[in-house]
Amino acid sequence: MPRRLERGARLVLASHNPGKLAEIAALLAPHGITAASAAALGLPEPEEDAPDFSGNARLKALAAARAANLPALADDSGFCVAALAGRPGIHSARWAGPRRDFSAAMARVQSEIGENPDRSAWFICALALAWPDGHTETFVGRIDGSAIWPPRGTNGFGYDPMFVPSGKTHTFGEMTAAEKEADTHRARAFAALRAACLAPLSSAADRETNNATRGNATNRQ
Ligand code: IMP
């Protein structure tokens, strides 16, 4: 049985990214959970040195839960390419360098794929919920598609302009935020976390949240 967060719980969001913080706080609010950011509580950012997404999400969540003595939620995500044996993977942000140059990161992906005809790619998001006693629950969402070249679209962030989800014709970079967020690796991971660990929504709040996230799938690890 997964451990649940009850209504009225306070949670630390172990991320220093303001976009992610706002998005996750909005998803938690209808479940009666209030969230404070690790930055607002002055918590340090631990080294992300685990070998996989789940491990990195867990170590960030555990560090925040122990430092704040509250349950904490962390995420780790990235872009994986079959022809590159899953790289850049957990190094997705690092491939963009200190200047966060994702045009350069996408060009490196294209150059390393080279003539390989296998253009399969996917995004992964791991969400970890940790408690100060060391208990953790981890959820993984994945969305499959193709790495295209040249990149298309200026919306979104990171590797969005070179990723077309299976069954779609537009890249994430050509989709509106609502179109993209309707079905992403993050939406899928959050839907799994919500089903396992959060109090059920009232039907009105449920409708609101579904309109906001339209997430699906339950890929729990
Ligand atoms: P982190 O989880 O904040 O370390 O981010 C990992 C990196 O993965 C980001 O900097 C992006 O490069 C990439 N990434 C994760 N999710 C997405 C997405 O939805 N679109 C595009 N790039 C993403």
| CA-proximal residue: ligand 1, atom 19 (nearest) | 160
Which ranges in the chain belong to alpha helices (H)? 18-28, 53-68, 102-113, 177-181, 185-197, 203-213
Preceding omega of 51 cis (within 30 degrees of 0): no
pLDDT at residue number 53: 98
The residue to mutate among 77, 80, 154, 155, having the most atoms of ligand 1 within 8 angstroms of its beta carbon, is: 77
Residue 81 CA from chain centroid, whole number? 17
Angle 185-197/18-28 helices, nearest 10 degrees? 40
CATH for 43? 3.90.950.10
Cα 127 from Cα 61, distance rounded (Å): 9
Q: Using alpha carbons, select from 41, 129, 50, 122 the residue that is nearest to residue 87.
A: 122
**Is the shortest distance between the CB of 76 and ligand 1 below 6 Å?**
yes
SS3 76: strand
The answer to whether position 219 is within a domain reads no
Preceding omega of 150 cis (within 30 degrees of 0): yes
Indicate which residue of 75, 76, 160, 183 is catalytic. 76
The answer to whether position 23 is within a domain reads yes
pLDDT at residue number 44: 82
pLDDT at residue number 17: 76
DSSP 159: T
pLDDT at residue number 16: 76
The answer to whether position 3 is within a domain reads no
The answer to whether position 119 is within a domain reads yes
The residue to mutate among 24, 159, 170, having the most atoms of ligand 1 within 8 angstroms of its beta carbon, is: 159
**Is the shortest distance between the CB of 190 and ligand 1 below 6 Å?**
no
pLDDT tens over the chain, length 221 residues = 889 998 899 999 998 777 778 878 888 888 999 999 988 888 888 888 999 999 999 999 999 999 999 999 999 999 999 999 999 999 999 999 999 999 999 999 999 999 999 999 999 999 999 999 999 999 999 999 999 999 999 999 999 999 999 999 999 999 998 899 889 999 999 999 999 999 887 655 555 555 544 433 333 33
Q: Say which amino acid occupies 116.
A: N
The answer to whether position 220 is within a domain reads no
Q: Say which amino acid occupies 85.
A: A
Domains identified in the chain, total number? 1
The answer to whether position 1 is within a domain reads no
pLDDT at residue number 22: 80
Ligand 1 midpoint to CA 125 (Å):
9
pLDDT at residue number 63: 95
| Tokens matching residue 177 | 């935020």
Cα 144 from Cα 41, distance rounded (Å): 36
13: phi then psi, degrees, rounded to nearest 5: -95, 110
Ligand 1 midpoint to CA 81 (Å):
14
The whole domain housing 169 covers 10-213
> Is 76 in the active site?
yes
The answer to whether position 96 is within a domain reads yes
DSSP 202: P
According to DSSP, the residues that pair with 165 across neighbouring strands are 145
Ligand 1 midpoint to CA 15 (Å):
13
The answer to whether position 76 is within a domain reads yes
Q: Say which amino acid occupies 36.
A: A
